[in-house]
Amino acid sequence: MLSPQKQLEGFPCQHGLSMGRNSSNSCDTVLPGISRILSGNFTPEKTVTHLLDLSISLFNGDFAVIFLAGPDQREYRVIFTSSGSPACLKGFSTEIPSLPTLELDFVLFPHNSFYPAEAKVKDSEIMAARIPLTTRSCAIMHIFGTPGRLEISRCETSNLLLRVLALVVENGILIADTQKKISKLTTLYEIARKSNSLLMPGNILASLVEITDPLLPSDRAAFYSIDNDGSSLKLHTSRGICESPETIAVSDNLPEAQVARSMKPLLYPTDDYKSCLSLPIQSGDKLLGVLTLATTKAYAYSDEDIIALRVLVAQIAEMDAMTTTLINMRSSTDTILDSINSGLVTVDTEGRLDYVNAMARKIFPDLAEESIGKPMKSLLGHNPMAQAISDTLLLDEILEDKRATIIRDGEELFFSLTTFPIRANESDMMTGVALFFKDITEEQRLRMELKRKERLSALGELATGVAHEIRNPLSGIKMVMQILQSEIAGDDPKQEHVRIVLDESDRLAKIISDLMDFARPRALDMVSCDIRKVLRDAILLLEPLARERNNWVDMQDDSNCSPMLFDPEKMKQVFLNLIKNAIEAAEPDTAVEVRVSFEKTPRELCTLTIRNRGEIIPHNVIDKIFNPFYTTKELGTGLGLPITHSIIEEHRGGIRVRSTLDEGTVFSITLPLLRSGEENEA
């Protein structure tokens, strides 16, 4: 590279030219102008602008710019401009073909073709001067003017102006560099502070391609991860228009491979980019990958940039290692929490869903992972669980083994709830609430069923004794009334009274008979037959009642049915009772739907459902309908459904009821498909 003096050789420059007609007056005005500018409270940039404006006035120019030399003394960039300078010259960068040979010396500059066309300086005359800097190698001032009008001076005042410019320019450069470093440190701090939102969980290193841009702007960025055996780099993610190779062998001569081998940063140019920086990504002594940044700007990356980037990369690499560990721990924790037989939900102090395990998602599908961050009350409404969480947030205390009942799809579900505050490790401050809940519906039903059986057992013994005591007097009453009926004339009004007594005696006898059947049921007569035939026979018997009420029975069954063991007479009694109740409860002109299906679970089951679209049964009534003597009918005995329940239990089956506006009222019966030889098995 030629020295500034050698670069100038061969170019005609005019030295020592005298001032124009007003040169002495112009020089006399410079010193007061400098004094006013320096005493003003201006920023370094404004101060330089005012000094350039003063220089223009001194030399009768139009506008002026100051270039600063790059590290190689070849490329120069405009760092200051005067008032009225073309906007396109701000930040303009170029190679200046010749330089003034002496400091504090103004010369005519013969070249202007390298300036952009939009600057419109092709016909301008340029005067150049070197500005002496102590910390930088070279700064050049160009003053543009109309040919023939530009006045060149070497008076002491002009030299003073250049010295003052040198001090102010150097001060401005120093402040700009300091601000740049502060800006980078601030950016680095902000990136670290906002890392939770900037980094991609589980893929933190790949985020470097994006998060380094605020710190070191680049036109292209690529992150290569090292493979498991350390023999090659694989492109993980990239940004920019230049294509990056998908795989680079570590033994290759490409810059990324050199960095992987040396574990040191590398600055280099390419055909497409003037400045490229490849940096190793390490966690301790372990190489994780290589990050490459590239830009079309020359000398874009300094030593300070590399240091700042290495600090950021080291921090991100450690965060990646920590995050990987945390993800593995979270995965193990999730596996454990998903395997427990209880639902687990955690919320933050605002009541927003923070975590939900597999059992909780299964019981409450609304608590899907997509619901994380949403308020629990918006997900569960006035659910007792949401209320328990709110109480714990409000009271900041443990609620243990609280019982809750939830109605879902017309079915009553029972839960045991425990909530407790979550606290920070080293403080007593509450950070959220955890809710454990367990579905105890089956347990509660078994407990209720046990109590029911105990109650029915006692009631059965009482009913047997009462029935015997009532049956004998009732037989005597009926016999006497029949004798009286035969002795009274047929047209005697007393015949009606006798008939009423006989009818009520028959009704009472039926109640006693039902009560005896309920209290002391006869043994099952198990026969292998098709349950669908028994069901059709029951429907046939009830068709007149259905027609009378403008209803009909719609039966659908599974054709894949095989004979099963059951008591046909008792099962017909069940079907007659349930279908008759459904017809009487159905709205006119609607169907009573009867479905039969067979399924293979751990054991083979037959499921029968009987549905009507009439008025729904309140939940408090559903709890009582299988209790003896409970009825909502005017002439009902309250023994039909208890007997039905008892018969199904004798067949080792189950019966459930749900009643909703959408589905209507549905009685569901499940029976095991017993075959010959299985009737006595447990």
Q: Which residue has the higher pLDDT, 656 or 562?
A: 656
Distance between CA atoms of 641 and 536, rounded to whole angstroms? Answer: 20
User: In the predicted model, what is the mean pLDDT of residues 586-596?
Assistant: 91
- Give the CA count within 13 Å in the CB-facing half-sphere of 357: 23
In this structure, CATH architecture of domain 445-519:
Orthogonal Bundle (1.10)
What percentage of residues in the chain have a pLDDT greater than 70? 76
pLDDT tens digit string along 77-125? 888 899 888 888 888 888 776 665 555 567 777 766 778 888 788 778 8
| Residue 564 neighbours by CB under 8 Å, 6+ apart | 528, 529, 531, 606, 671, 673, 674, 675
Report whether pLDDT(456) > 80.
Answer: no
Q: What is the mean pLDDT of the chain?
A: 77
State pTM to two decimals: 0.38
What local confidence, expressed as pLDDT, does residue 186 receive? 57
The three-state secondary structure class of 174 is helix
Distance between CA atoms of 644 and 369, rounded to whole angstroms? Answer: 44
CB 67 within 8 A of CB 47: no
Distance between CA atoms of 353 and 386, rounded to whole angstroms? Answer: 11
Report whether pLDDT(8) > 60.
Answer: no
Distance between CA atoms of 292 and 308, rounded to whole angstroms? Answer: 15
Q: Which of 377, 332, 382, 330 is nearest to 351 (CA)?
A: 377
Paired tokens of 67: 């270039």
Name the residue type at position 322: M
Report whether pLDDT(610) > 90.
Answer: yes
Residue 16 binned pLDDT confidence (cut-offs 50, 70, 90): very low
What local confidence, expressed as pLDDT, does residue 134 receive? 75
What local confidence, expressed as pLDDT, does residue 5 receive? 32
Cα-Cα end-to-end distance for the chain: 103
What local confidence, expressed as pLDDT, does residue 255 receive? 92
- Give the CA count within 13 Å in the CB-facing half-sphere of 470: 17
Distance between CA atoms of 366 and 380, rounded to whole angstroms? Answer: 8
Report whether pLDDT(549) > 60.
Answer: yes
What local confidence, expressed as pLDDT, does residue 20 receive? 38
| Residue 387 neighbours by CB under 8 Å, 6+ apart | none
Alpha-carbon distances, residue 243 vs 213, 238, 323, 438 (angstroms): 19, 9, 30, 56
User: In the predicted model, what is the mean pLDDT of residues 560-576?
Assistant: 85
| Residue 481 neighbours by CB under 8 Å, 6+ apart | 498, 501, 502, 505
Q: Which residue has the higher pLDDT, 656 or 308?
A: 656
What local confidence, expressed as pLDDT, does residue 575 receive? 92
445-519 has the same fold as 4-181: no
**Highest mean pLDDT, choosing among 22-31, 112-121, 130-139, 575-584:** 575-584
What local confidence, expressed as pLDDT, does residue 462 receive? 66
> In this predicted structure, which of 3-7, 23-27, 564-568, 638-642 has the lowest mean pLDDT?
3-7
User: In the predicted model, what is the mean pLDDT of residues 605-624?
Assistant: 86
Residue 398 binned pLDDT confidence (cut-offs 50, 70, 90): confident
User: In the predicted model, what is the mean pLDDT of residues 258-273?
Assistant: 90
CB 82 within 8 A of CB 56: yes
The neighbour count for residue 23, using CB atoms within 10 Å, is 20
**Highest mean pLDDT, choosing among 37-51, 225-239, 491-505, 600-614:** 225-239
Which CATH class for the 4-181 domain? Answer: alpha beta
What local confidence, expressed as pLDDT, does residue 174 receive? 76
pLDDT tens digit string along 352-384? 888 888 888 887 877 777 778 888 777 777 778
Q: Please state which CATH number belongs to domain 196-334.
A: 3.30.450.40
Tell me whether strands 591-600 and 552-557 are parallel, antiparallel or unpaired. parallel
What percentage of residues in the chain have a pLDDT greater than 90? 7
CB 44 within 8 A of CB 60: no
Report whether pLDDT(327) > 60.
Answer: no
User: In the predicted model, what is the mean pLDDT of residues 562-584?
Assistant: 88
What local confidence, expressed as pLDDT, does residue 601 receive? 63
Distance between CA atoms of 577 and 71, rounded to whole angstroms? Answer: 101
Fold of the domain spanning 527-672: Heat Shock Protein 90 (3.30.565)
Q: Which of 45, 89, 40, 44 is nearest to 64 (CA)?
A: 89
Fold of the domain spanning 340-439: Beta-Lactamase (3.30.450)
What local confidence, expressed as pLDDT, does residue 460 receive? 64
User: In the predicted model, what is the mean pLDDT of residues 441-448?
Assistant: 78
Q: Where along the chain do its domains lie?
A: 4-181, 196-334, 340-439, 445-519, 527-672
pLDDT tens digit string along 481-524? 888 778 787 777 888 888 888 877 877 777 777 666 666 666 78
pLDDT tens digit string along 19-66? 333 444 455 667 788 878 777 778 888 888 888 888 888 888 889 998
Tell me whether strands 93-95 and 275-283 are parallel, antiparallel or unpaired. unpaired
What local confidence, expressed as pLDDT, does residue 459 receive? 64
User: In the predicted model, what is the mean pLDDT of residues 567-581?
Assistant: 90
Distance between CA atoms of 333 and 342, rounded to whole angstroms? Answer: 15
Element (H, E) at 6: helix 4-8
